[in-house]
Structure 1
Amino acid sequence: MHDFAQMGTRRFGRVNWLGLATLCSREMQRFLAVWTQTLLAPLATAALFLLIFTIAIGPARGDVMGVPFTHFIAPGILMMTVIQNAFANTSSSIVIGKVQGNIVDTLMPPLSPAELVIGYLVGGIGRGLFVAVAISAGLAIFLEIMPQHPLMLIGYVILGSAFMGAVGIVAGIYANRFDQMAAITNFIVTPLAFLSGTFYSVDALPPVLRAITHFNPIFYLIDGLRYSVLGVSDSAPALGAVVATGSTLAVAAIALVMFTRGYRLKA
């Protein structure tokens, strides 16, 4: 594998645009080639969540923060589905490459660590956006929910996809086997997603749990998306954007360092 730190200026210039575009295209084509699994399945899962909670809790729950319970949980389910798919896209791409032994095909070309991170993130963000569009269309058709701040919604979807895409890169580099990746997903990613205000307002939590929740970046992503769709939130949307952006940059920096050092990537 190339020692990226010593590469300096390459004959491609400071940015290998062709290589970066090729990596981005590959990561996009990975999930588009199996769209029934990567795009249709998340839509079905989100619909099942809404149906189950509506039947089991909706009629008796009453309004939450001034909106019907089904409408309240809809943006949370949207963001939860988006971030799970963004994480799955980047992490699976790297882990499959490591397990099959073809990760070297990605590492050997003259791509810098930053270009590798960006290329993988583009795939994760692309998948997140596709999922968001599909679910948003379903919410508009079946629940008549139209976003109050469409541009903010797009921004939070991109932020959420970038954040969990970066987490997926770090997890994919760290994991050497599928069972290790499954453990990260089951014991870290899923609990953070479910315990972030997706199905409830954090005001209903005891003070200690409420304080802990505010250290979870996913809470701010879900809360910000809820505000962009419904106009209600538990915290200031601007604060959520700052926390989400800072968290994304921090995790992306970790991924950059891991690629630069070849951590768990060198044979």
Structure 2
Amino acid sequence: MTHTPWPAEGARRFGAVNWLGMWTLYLKEVRRFWKVMTQTVAAPVITTLLYLAIFALAIGKFRPDVHGVPFVEFLAPGLIMMTMIQNAFANTSSSLLISKIQGNIVDVLMPPLSPMELNIGIALAGVTRGLVCGTVTALAMLPFVNLGLAHLWALLFFAAGASLMLSLFGILGGIWSEKFDHLQAVTNFVILPLTFLSGTFYSVTQLPDFAHKITLWNPVFYLIDGFRYGVTGHADGAIEIGVALVIGVNLVLWVACHMLFRTGYRLKA
């Protein structure tokens, strides 16, 4: 009778990557927001449509075209991107903070998942919520706005890249926050200002010179500008800078999240 030897200490029986565990974590995070989709998907879409209605009905007819693009068609991609990034951030940050407050973060940390697998499972769920909210918002706008498709690669790259960026930033925010006031402060004093001052509602070329230069240091500007370029074909900034920024910032955020999961900072206390 032969006995199967136990794995060496520190080894894992399912190979280098725990695909099943990572997939299960991803599904858990997706189902968490999908079960309350009225709050997590429908509500953001309605809010964005209200923005569109206000600008289209009250202001749009008085605004000239922006670089040959009708104002409402210029505005719509910015609103879609705003919806995506806000919800990608909200998904990961709220999930981690609620788990910490309720004390069930141990259910995430105890399974045999490496920091990389935790990072992938949680971050991709945030990306999924961002893309779902963006897609539903775009479909809801179609009866009212002529949404074009100028550059498919840019639309897909900036939609996915922006959702991943804010999903990772949400992980950092959720790990750092110890109560809802902390997370709300990040939303109110970081996410919203960066979003509202990024060219979502206007062309940055219309700004005074000093404000235009400041905007070019805002990473969210490049997310919105790149996505708008994919829809309308117009960009206020350099697309190649936007592509490099998305890749670079995502790499930095990915490493930062990985380090926090590995050390257990504010997770294992």
TM-score range, shorter chain: over 0.9
Match of 1:81 in 2: 83
Q: What is the distance in 1 between the residues matched to 2:180 and 2:14? A: 35
Match of 1:32 in 2: 34
Answer with 235-244 or 104-113: which moved more. Answer: 235-244
Letter in 2 for 1:28: V
2:73–2:146 CA contact under 8 A, matched in 1: no
Of the three residues 72, 91, 94, the one matched with 2:93 is: 91
Of the three residues 211, 221, 224, the one matched with 2:223 is: 221
Pair 1:189-2:191 in alignment: yes
Question: 1:46-125, aligned counterparts within 5 Å?
Answer: 46-125=48-127
Letter in 1 for 2:182: Q
- Give me the identity figure in percent: 50
Q: What is the distance in 2 between the residues matched to 1:56 and 1:248? A: 38
Give the superposition deviation at 1:136: 1.6
- Alignment root-mean-square deviation, CA: 1.3
Number of matched pairs: 261
Q: What is the distance in 2 between the residues matched to 1:51 and 1:14? A: 51
Q: What is the distance in 2 between the residues matched to 1:210 and 1:10? A: 53
1:16–1:111 CA contact under 8 A, matched in 2: yes
Match of 1:158 in 2: 160
Q: Secondary structure at the match of 1:142?
A: coil
Residue deviations 1:235-254 (CA, integer Å, cap 9, x gap): 22232111112111111211
Give the superposition deviation at 1:9: 4.1
Q: What is the distance in 2 between the residues matched to 1:9 and 1:228? A: 46
Question: 1:176-255, aligned counterparts within 5 Å?
Answer: 176-255=178-257
Q: What is the distance in 2 between the residues matched to 1:143 and 1:54? A: 10
Q: What is the distance in 1 between the residues matched to 2:145 and 2:170? A: 32
Q: What is the distance in 2 between the residues matched to 1:125 and 1:168? A: 11
Q: Secondary structure at the match of 1:235?
A: coil
Match of 2:170 in 1: 168
Of the three residues 145, 148, 151, the one matched with 1:149 is: 151
Q: What is the distance in 2 between the residues matched to 1:234 and 1:144? A: 20
Task: Name stretches of at least 5 consecutive residues in structure 1 with no aligned partner.
Answer: 1-6
Q: Secondary structure at the match of 2:143?
A: helix
Task: Name stretches of at least 5 consecutive residues in structure 2 with no aligned partner.
Answer: 1-8
Q: What is the distance in 2 between the residues matched to 1:56 and 1:119? A: 43
Answer with 12-21 or 167-176: which moved more. Answer: 12-21
Of the three residues 17, 20, 29, the one matched with 2:19 is: 17
Pair 1:138-2:143 in alignment: no
2:84–2:133 CA contact under 8 A, matched in 1: yes
Give the superposition deviation at 1:8: 5.6
Give the superposition deviation at 1:39: 1.2
Q: What is the distance in 1 between the residues matched to 2:58 and 2:27? A: 42
Q: What is the distance in 1 between the residues matched to 2:188 and 2:41? A: 21
Q: What is the distance in 1 between the residues matched to 2:112 and 2:171? A: 19
Answer with 208-217 or 144-153: which moved more. Answer: 144-153
Residue deviations 1:157-211 (CA, integer Å, cap 9, x gap): 1111100000000000000101111111111111111111101111112222222
Give the superposition deviation at 1:147: 2.0
Find the structure with the greater CA-based Rg: 2
Match of 1:257 in 2: 259
Q: What is the distance in 1 between the residues matched to 2:59 and 2:67? A: 16
Give the superposition deviation at 1:140: 2.4
